[in-house]
Structure 1
Amino acid sequence: MKVLIYSAKAFEIPFLEKANGKKHQITFIEDLLNSKTAIKAIGFDAVSIFSADEACFITIEKLKEFGVKYIALRSVGHDNVNLKTASRLGIKVANVPGYSPYAIAEHAVSLLLALNRKLIESNKRVKVYNFNLDGLVGVDLNNKTVGIIGTGKIGSAMAKIMYGFGCNLLGHDIQQDENLIKNYQLRYTSLTELCEQSDVISIHLPLNTETHYMINEDLISLMKTNVIIINTARGAVIKTEDIIDALKKDNIGALGIDVYENERGVFFKDRSSEIPDDSMLIQLNAYPNVLITGHHAYLTHEALTNIAETTFYNLNQWEKGIASENELTELSN
């Protein structure tokens, strides 16, 4: 099978090549998939894309026209793929449903600790031999209430870690995990109660019509004014405009994000010589109590290995004419 891998990054290519084992004819390009770059897929049986790629209905129609039969996602999320169009045109789509929940959860905790203990500011001072401690006071996480929105694999890993810190756990999800209730004393509650009671709120939800802008002005108004909000899920779960307004008014304590609602076309590239034309991102970057990382929570050796292996497992299954259990079957078959 001939496979074109869009958005290929230097750090992931060795993992993908190893997982392929010279089985498929693979070509790596740095270009993002969109309606303009779809033409590069002419002559390929399959494409592999990441979360920054755009497989809208126009793009998928072009891929079909160019002979592409399969789309292998290198991510869990698939909100960037029009599955209905893929289904209608007979293009199979599969994702990587669980590459490493620990990578994401541990990154969420890293953001939390760095914000709470003012590690970035402290390090900046030490770099210039300023050892003044004013303004570096944090809080003990022990006995604080952590609200986890979304208790799937990643949310569960987050709960396990924060339980180890001695935190009281609240959870909100459409489906309750009895293991979290039994082993970590997590208490499921309404979203409003979680927002009212939590000292820390960590988001671990997919992006869909129900979760889009879930964290908005109404919910933010219920939160404690010193709350720390962590988002390692999808940027548009938070309405950025509302979170900036809360930061301006000192209505939240801190914000740590690895994702941003307008990250497509901005993240994953060195833009140090060209300030992005994005006023919200510029404003967020200016706040000392905001910590942003560039969508790299998944960036561990274990996660990259699992992503590569699952991506080529999906491709191998398709080449054999066998459905992969990772297919987004409701819409793609």
Structure 2
Amino acid sequence: MKFCLIDAEVFIDRPELLDPLRSLGAVEMYAGIPQDADEVERRAFDADVIAFGLMQFTNEMLDRLPNLKILQFIGTGVWNFVDVDYARSKGIKVLNIEGYGSNAVAEFALSMALAMAKKIPQAGNVLKTGGWSIDGLMGMEISGSTVGVLGTGSIGRLVAEKFVNMGAKVIANDIYENESLKKDWGVTYVGLEELFRSSDIVTVHMKVTKENEKLIDGRLFGLMKPHALFVNVARAELVNNRDLFEALKEGRMGGAAIDVYENEPPADSDYELARLDNVIATPHMAYYTQEANDNSIKMMVQSIADAL
């Protein structure tokens, strides 16, 4: 049996974590995203199992992999990276992993919100350009503010708890209400419009489905307070990013922190959003800690072993 980590060598800084796979067959690793279907075929033509973490799999690529039995995504939300229905129609089992970086992402969301609220990037730029002034740099305190958490699964739950511990009033929106958050942490569930209308900070932690694509649009941004901040470390597809760009450019909201993009690497429109002065933009790195990285490899290996 042959295992191919087709773009995932960057994740492997502890090779011994792959020993369970090596006991089952040959393991090949590659760095960088394949540029086209030809390169995918060169790397993985005879692979039985492919693990990937960065690239988009096209149907043409799948057509060129006759031995492929398992396609394992090293992350959450595999349907954003491959046509799962098409793969399954070819007899390919498609897998992803859950929860490996929940705390890492929650801490990152909190960090993004704090950096915006305290205007840390803008303050840093003052000194980087040889200045010394606090004009326009008055911050906002988290204690006493209202934070809206959109999605209270494994990540959103942690985000809500961390903000409560900082003294914020936390409101939330989800199809499934977390009873522990309500009972033990004082979180109140509200409607979507009320969440955007009442929050000083809105942070997004939903999974993408066909039903909620571009759910967050200009109508909701129009309800936000002029100073309110928006954090998206979930998926870009949840947001109408053109509406977000216009709201930020026109100063109708205080700022945004973005770690996810409709195209990765970003397209020109994504960079246009990232270049705005009231935006913090990072290269999809919220999950990227040593602890989460090790968890992802261990869970990937276990997922493949279970499937086999």
TM interval, shorter chain, is over 0.9
In 2: Cα distance, 1:282 partner to 1:94 partner: 31
Which one of the candidate residues 30, 33, 39 is aligned to 2:41?
39
- Mapped to 2, the partners of 1:243 and 1:139 lie a distance apart of 21
8 Å CA contact retained: 1:228, 1:255: yes
Q: Could you tell me the TM-score, scaled by structure 2's length?
A: 0.92
Gaps of 5+ in 1: 268-276, 320-333
Cα distance in 2 for residues equivalent to 1:88 and 1:286: 42
**Quick one: which amino acid aligns to residue 44 of structure 1?**
A
Residue 93 (structure 1) aligns with = 94
| Equivalent in the alignment of 2:275 | 286
The CA distance in 2 between the partners of 1:2 and 1:101, in whole Å, is: 31
Offset from partner CA, 1:187-231 (integer Å, 9 cap, x none): 111111111111100000112212211111111111112110000
Residues 22-33 of structure 1 correspond to what in structure 2 (within 5 A)?
A: 22-23=22-23, 24-32=25-33
SS in 2 for 1:14: coil
Aligned position for 2:81: 80
Give the Cα separation in 1 of the matches to 2:9 and 2:125.
30
Q: Verify: 1:48 aligned to 2:51, yes or no.
A: yes
Match of 1:271 in 2: none
Residue aligned with 2:296, SS: helix
Larger mean CA deviation between 126-135 and 39-48 belongs to 126-135
1:223 to 1:9, Cα distance in 2 relative to 1, 3 A:
farther
Query: How far 1:134 sits from its partner (Å)?
Result: 1.4
What residue in structure 1 maps to residue 60 of structure 2? Answer: 58
- What letter matches 1:90 in structure 2? G
What is the one-letter code of the residue matched to 1:110?
A: S
Paired position in structure 2 for 1:138: 139
Q: Deviations over 1:245-299 (max 9, x none)?
A: 1012211100001111122xx26xxxxxxxxx61x23322332210001000011
Judge conservation of contact 1:117–1:137 (CA < 8 Å) in 2: yes
Partners of 2:208 and 2:93 in 1: CA distance: 21
1:146-181 per-residue CA deviation (whole Å, 9 max, x = no partner) reads 111110000001001101111111111111110111
* In structure 2, C-alpha distance between the alignment counterparts of 1:69 and 1:286, rounded to whole Å: 42
Identify the residue that residue 165 of structure 2 maps to in structure 1: 164
Q: Which amino acid counterpart does residue 174 of structure 1 have in structure 2?
A: I
Q: How does 1:100-119 map to 2 (within 5 A)?
A: 100-119=101-120
1:151–1:177 contact (8 Å) kept in structure 2: yes
Aligned to 1:2: 2
Query: Do the aligned partners of 2:71 and 2:93 also contact (CA within 8 Å) in 1?
Result: yes
CA distance, structure 2, for counterparts of residue 181 and residue 9 of structure 1: 42
Distance in 2 of aligned mates of 1:230 and 1:86: 33
Give the aligned partner of residue 192 of structure 2: 191
- The secondary structure found in structure 1 opposite 2:171 is strand
Give the alignment's Cα RMSD to 1 decimal: 1.8
The CA deviation at 1:303 is 0.4
- The partner residue of 1:20 within 18, 21, 40 is 18
Percent identity reads 28
Q: Contact 1:102–1:154 (CA<8 Å) still a contact in 2?
A: yes
Q: Structure 2 matches for 1:216-255, cutoff 5 A?
A: 216-255=217-256
1:229 alignment partner, SS class: strand
Structure 2 CA distance for aligned equivalents of residues 36 and 194 of structure 1: 47
